Amino acid sequence: MSNVVVIGSQWGDEGKGKIVDWLSERAEVVVRFQGGHNAGHTLVVDGTTYKLSLLPSGVVRSNKLSIIGNGVVIDPIALLSEIEKISAQGVDVNPTNLRIAENASLILTIHREMDGVAEMLRGEAKIGTTRRGIGPAYEDKVARRGVRVCDLADIDVLEQKIDGILAHHNPLLIAAGQPAYTREMVLEPLMSVAEKVLAFASPVWKILDEEQKKGSKMLFEGAQGVMLDVDHGTYPFVTSSNTVAGFAACGSGTGPANTGFVLGITKAYTTRVGSGPFPTEQDNEIGRTLGERGHEFGTVTGRPRRCGWFDAVMVRQAVKTAGIKGIALTKLDILDGISPLKICVGYEVDGKKYDYLPASQSLQARIKPIFEDIEGWSESTQGARSWAELPAAAIKYIRRIEELIECQVTLLSTSPKREDTIMVRDPFLGV
C-alpha cells in the first residue's frame, strides 16, 4: 500500500475538499503540510456541510488522526475558532485525534496588520492576498525571528521574540501612517489561548515515523495549487509557501520516500482568485456561465473566481514540477451543453511560441493562448458513476486532456457528492 499526496494542479479551488474527504475515509492519518487559513475547502459528509480552512479534512471523520505539520503557519485564534465551529456541528476534536507540530510557526496579530499594510502600499500592483497574515508569518519564519507553537510554553522566550518582531515591523507601520504595536498587543492574545493550543502540540515527525512503521495509510493534504507555489507559480502573484508535492515531506517531518503517490486535483476548466496572469481567462459570457454553474466563489474570502478554458500547458507544467502521477478531474458536469469547448495547447508572446509557462513576469502578462476546439456534448454527465454513463464526446474531451498534460485520470468527479466519483485506479495502491 502507498501513501498519497493531494495537491492542486492549477491556481487552487480545484475541488480538493471532496476528493480529500473521499480518500480520507480510507486513510488512518491525514496530514496538512503547508499554507495557513487563507485556503478553504468544503466537505459534505452524510448531508452535513463543513467548511474548513486550517484543520485537515480527516478531522470530521471518527477514528482518524489529523496532523497539522510544521510547514503550516497557524493563527491560534483562528484555529480554536474553527475547532469550536465544527464542534458545534457534532465533531469531537481533542488532543487524541488532532496533533499540531510543536515547531510550526504562529501567525500573530501584527502579521495580519502587516499583510493589509503591504497590500495597501502595493497600490495597483497588489497581489490579491487574503490579508490573514500568512505572508508576513512566513517572512518572520525565514528571517529566524518567528514565534513557534512550542514558544507558548516559555514566556521569557516569547517576549524576547515578540520584541524582535516589533523592532522589525513597527518602523514600516509608522512609515505607512499606522500606529505601532506594543508587546502587550501581541502577547495578550497569545497568552489567552496558549494553554489550549499547547494541549495539541506534539513532535509530529516522531508520530509520523511511528505511523509509518505500523503501516498506516497516510494522506498528505496540500492547500492552494501548483501555480501559486512561491518558486514554480506565477510569481509574484503567488502564496508564500511551496505548494508542490515535494514540500509534503519537509512540511510534515517525514522522508520523501514516505509520501507516496502524488494526485493532482484538476478542474475541467480553469479558475483563479485575485490578481495575476491568467492566459485562458474568459471575461465574457462563457466565463460568467462557468462561474454561475460552478458556484465559483472562494470558500474563505467569498470573492468571485475568474473563469476560463482548460489550460493544458499550465497543467502539464504542474505535472512535471510537482511529480504528479495521476489527476482527479473535477467539475466535468459544469461543461455540459457547452459546445464547442476550447483547450489551450500552447502560448504565444510577441510572435514567439512557447510550450511552457515562462518564468518572466512581463512575458506572462503578454501571453496569448493558442486554443484547440473540441466538440462538446448535450447530454448530462452530472452524477455519472461509470465510464459507460458518460457521453462519447465527454470521454473524448478527457482523453485529449490526458494526452496534452501527459498524465492519466485516476479519479473523475461528476458532482459535489462524494459518491459521484469514478475511480480509474486506486491512489493508495500507488503507480
Active-site residue numbers? 13, 41
- Whether residue 6 contacts residue 19, with contact meaning beta carbons closer than 8 Å, is answered with yes
Q: How far apart are CA 255 and CA 243, in angstroms?
A: 17
> Burial of 244 by CB count in 10 Å (0-12 exposed, 13-18 middle, 19+ buried)?
buried
Q: How far apart are CA 375 and CA 394, in angstroms?
A: 9
State which H helix or E strand residue 159 sits in: helix 155-175
User: Phi and psi of 179, rounded to 5°?
Assistant: -70, 145
Q: How far apart are CA 381 and CA 362, in angstroms?
A: 39
H-type alpha helices, 251-309: 285-293
Residues with Cβ within 8 Å of 16's Cβ and at least 6 positions away in sequence, in order, are 6, 7, 8, 41, 221, 222, 265
- Say which residue the cell 512581463 belongs to: 362
The type of residue at 45 is V
Residues with Cβ within 8 Å of 39's Cβ and at least 6 positions away in sequence, in order, are 12, 53, 223, 224, 239, 299, 300
Q: How far apart are CA 19 and CA 175, in angstroms?
A: 46
- Whether residue 197 contacts residue 149, with contact meaning beta carbons closer than 8 Å, is answered with yes
Strand partners, 100: 68, 201
Q: At what angle do helices 155-175 and 109-122 cross, to 10 degrees?
A: 20
Q: How far apart are CA 201 and CA 203, in angstroms?
A: 7
For the chain, the residue count is: 431
